[in-house]
Each structure stands twice: as structure tokens, then as C-alpha cells.
């Protein structure tokens, strides 16, 4: 359904008049992956801050243009979709953003978001019908329309706002949801509700979801597949359960070993060497494997040659010379 082919995004920063000290940053470095259309899946795109997760989301949503490579949705490039069939594209591909505070216009009641959606996508023929649709969608998500409708955004908590965004999704019935850290700003008790509802949307709408997160605890809970990003490159991909149980890439291992398990009987076994934790030299290697500067298993070849991203076991892809 969705296919990224060698997508690269380079940002140019600094440099007055483009003359001095101009630098470039490769936020996304020839990323390729697909979300198949045969059955709905939740695919988690996992990475630390600065790994290019959000940039990828923006490229898929057409908010940024890739420097090279292309994103195909149903075999047609996203830029083409947006140029010719923008409305149709967003009928099928819908975002949920990270910050539930900045996406609402504070001057309008929240109902307006849903009313606009209905009008734009022509979901109802009359006001009456629109209202019924909204109420039904909210009830499906366990939200009380009588409590929420008619209120202003500032009267809602972060959790309510994000769940209200799910109502929008439920009305539009997209085929692909691009969710960028949707729960990072909401509380644990409401986070669980949101995540469970997102999982239920997968079955209800037969929609897939690209779930972008830094939190492997969440990824392991909701995702069917996991894609691991490191400094803008995909370094591992496979079924979620297998990656969590048996990570192949040393970076994935490092991430999984660092997750705090919410159980005092499962405390971290080994201690982080603080002197090696971060260095003010570059964390990202310029040549060879991008993780070689931090990798405990680094070999000579890693410093000069970038490892290819290959299938090393059935349905397990990794970019690491340890497995070549």
C-alpha cells in the first residue's frame, strides 16, 4: 500500500546569505520500507530523537518534499496524489500528531473540527445526519458527546484532545493512519485507553497504521512489525515480537537493554559506563556504518564500509556486518 523508495532528506542550515558556514544535515538517509495492503498492520517506526522519524512522517503526509527518492501510495507517488487528488489522498491517509495542544484553533469550539471534516469529505447530506455521525463516532470511542461537544479546546485535557482526534479518524475511515508520538504528552492512565482504541481501529476500519515512537514499551505492545531507525537509516526490520525477543543489530540491542521495565524485580542488569555514555565527538560516524562510533562490536570493515540492509533470517532484515 505504502512504499518508500530510497527516501533521502537533506536539510540545509545556517549560513547568512548562503555564503558562510552553511552546513547540511542528512535527516533521512535512503530509507526504504513498505506497508503491505493485504492485511491491516500496525508498523512501529522506532528511533531516538534526531533519528528522522518525524521527517519521514512529514514526507509521507506531503508536508515535506524528499531531496531524492520517492514515496508511493497505491503505486502512485505522493507528490502526484497531492497535486491531482489531494482530497482523495487525505481521505485515505490521515495523520495524528504529537502535540494535542497546538492542533486545535483556540477560537473555535471543538465540534468545528468534525463539522469541517464532514463538509470537506462530503460525509453527510444534512446537518442532522452530520450530528448523528459525530455522536455515533464519539460513542464508539467511549467519549460522552454531551460532555464534550460545544466546548472549547482549552477546556479539554490532553488525553481527551487526542481521543477526540480519533473521532476524526473514525469519521474519515482512512486506510492508513500516520501517528507521530500521539501519546507522548498524555498521562499513563489515558495513554492505555488511547492505545487500545488505536488497536481496535485497525480491526474496525481495516486500516493500517504507521506508529512513530521512541518508546519500545509502547511499540512492543501495539505493533505487529517494528522498523528501527538510527541517524536517519533503517538498521533493522521484522516482526515486533521477534525483534523484542531477539534483537539482531547492536543498536537495537542497546535500545532494548536500556528500556526501563516497570517492575522492580526486573532491574537493569548491567551498568552503563558513564564515561562512554555520550561523547562530544560525533555520535554519528561519517563513514562506514553510522553506528560504528558507538558500537561495542565494531570491526575494521565497519569503519570504512556501510553494511547492506539484507534479510539474514526469514523476514528479519538487518544492516550489520556481524550477520554477513
- Judged by the rule CB under 8 A, the positions of this chain that interact with other proteins are 48-49, 142, 157-160, 187-196, 214-218, 220-222, 244, 254-256, 258-268, 271-275, 277-278, 280
- C-alpha cell, 97: 500528531
Residue placing its CB nearer to other proteins in the complex, 51 or 208 = 51
Compute the least distance from the CB of residue 215 to other proteins, in Å: 8
What phi and psi, each to the nearest 5 degrees, are found at residue 51?
-90, -5
| Long-range CB contacts for residues 9-16, cutoff 8 Å, separation at least 24 | 9/52, 9/55, 9/59, 9/64, 9/66, 9/67, 9/232, 10/67
| Residue 103 backbone phi and psi in degrees, to 5 | -90, -10
Q: Please, what is the minimum distance in Å from the beta carbon of residue 48 to other proteins?
A: 4
Q: Considering the complex, what minimum distance in angstroms separates the CB of residue 76 from other proteins?
A: 36
Grid coordinates of 321 = 556486518
- Tell me if 289 sits within 8 A of 295, measured CB to CB: yes
For other proteins, the closer CB: 101 or 116: 101
| Residue (218 or 290) nearer to other proteins, CB | 218
Q: Work out how close the CB of 177 gets to other proteins at its nearest, in angstroms, rounded to a whole number.
A: 18
Shorter beta-carbon distance to other proteins: residue 278 or 286:
278
Could you tell me the smallest distance in angstroms from the CB atom of residue 132 to other proteins?
Answer: 24
Quickly list DSSP for 203-233. Answer: HHH--EEEEEES-HHHHHHH-SEEEEEETTE
**CA proximity to 8, closest of 232, 317, 287:** 232
Q: Are the CB atoms for 268 and 257 separated by under 8 Å?
A: yes
Nearer to other proteins, 42 or 172 (CB): 42
Shortest Å distance, C-beta 88 to other proteins = 35
Residue 219 in grid coordinates: 511499540
Residue 90 CB, nearest approach to other proteins (Å): 29
* C-alpha span between 96 and 106 (Å, rounded): 18
Nearer to other proteins, 63 or 192 (CB): 192
Backbone angles phi, psi at 7, to 5 degrees: -75, 125
**Nearest CB to other proteins, comparing residues 133 and 218:** 218
Residues linked to residue 230 through DSSP beta bridges, in sequence order: 233
Amino acid at each position: 500500500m505504502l512504499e518508500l523508495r530510497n527516501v533521502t532528506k537533506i536539510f540545509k542550515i545556517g549560513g547568512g546569505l548562503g555564503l558562510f558556514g552553511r552546513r547540511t544535515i542528512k535527516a533521512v538517509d535512503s530509507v526504504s520500507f513498505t506497508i503491505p495492503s493485504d492485511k491491516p498492520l500496525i508498523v512501529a517506526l522506532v528511533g531516538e530523537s534526531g533519528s528522522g522519524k518525524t521527517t519521514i512522517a512529514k514526507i509521507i503526509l506531503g508536508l515535506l518534499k524528499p531531496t531524492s527518492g520517492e514515496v508511493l501510495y497505491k503505486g502512485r507517488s505522493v507528490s502526484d496524489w497531492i497535486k491531482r487528488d489531494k482530497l482523495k489522498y487525505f481521505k485515505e491517509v490521515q495523520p495524528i500528531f504529537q502535540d494535542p495542544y497546538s492542533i486545535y484553533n483556540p477560537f473555535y469550539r471543538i465540534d468545528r473540527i468534525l463539522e469541517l471534516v464532514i463538509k470537506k469529505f462530503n460525509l453527510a447530506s444534512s446537518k442532522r445526519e452530520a450530528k448523528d455521525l459525530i455522536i455515533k463516532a464519539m460513542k464508539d470511542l467511549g467519549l460522552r458527546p454531551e460532555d464534550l461537544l460545544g466546548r472549547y479546546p482549552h477546556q479539554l485535557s490532553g488525553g481527551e484532545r487526542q481521543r477526540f482526534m480519533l473521532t476524526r479518524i473514525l469519521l474519515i475511515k482512512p486506510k492508513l493512519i500516520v501517528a507521530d508520538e500521539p501519546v507522548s504528552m498524555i498521562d499513563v492512565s489515558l495513554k492505555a485507553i488511547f492505545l487500545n482504541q488505536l488497536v481496535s481501529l485497525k480491526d474496525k476500519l481495516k486500516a493500517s497504521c504507521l506508529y512513530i515512537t521512541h518508546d519500545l514499551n509502547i511499540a512492543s505492545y501495539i505493533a505487529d512489525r517494528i522498523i528501527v531507525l538510527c541517524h536517519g537509516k533503517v538498521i533493522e526490520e521484522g516482526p515486533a515480537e521477534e525483534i523484542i525477543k531477539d534483537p539482531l543489530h547492536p543498536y537495537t540491542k542497546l535500545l532494548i537493554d536500556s528500556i526501563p521495565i516497570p517492575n522492580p524485580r526486573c532491574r537493569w542488569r548491567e551498568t552503563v559506563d558513564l564515561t562512554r555514555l555520550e561523547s562530544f565527538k560525533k555520535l554519528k560516524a561519517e563513514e562506514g556504518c553510522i553506528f560504528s562510533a558507538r558500537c561495542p562490536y565494531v570491526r575494521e570493515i565497519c569503519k570504512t564500509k556501510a553494511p547492506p540492509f539484507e534479510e539474514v533470517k526469514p523476514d528479519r532484515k538487518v544492516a550489520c556486518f556481524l550477520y554477513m
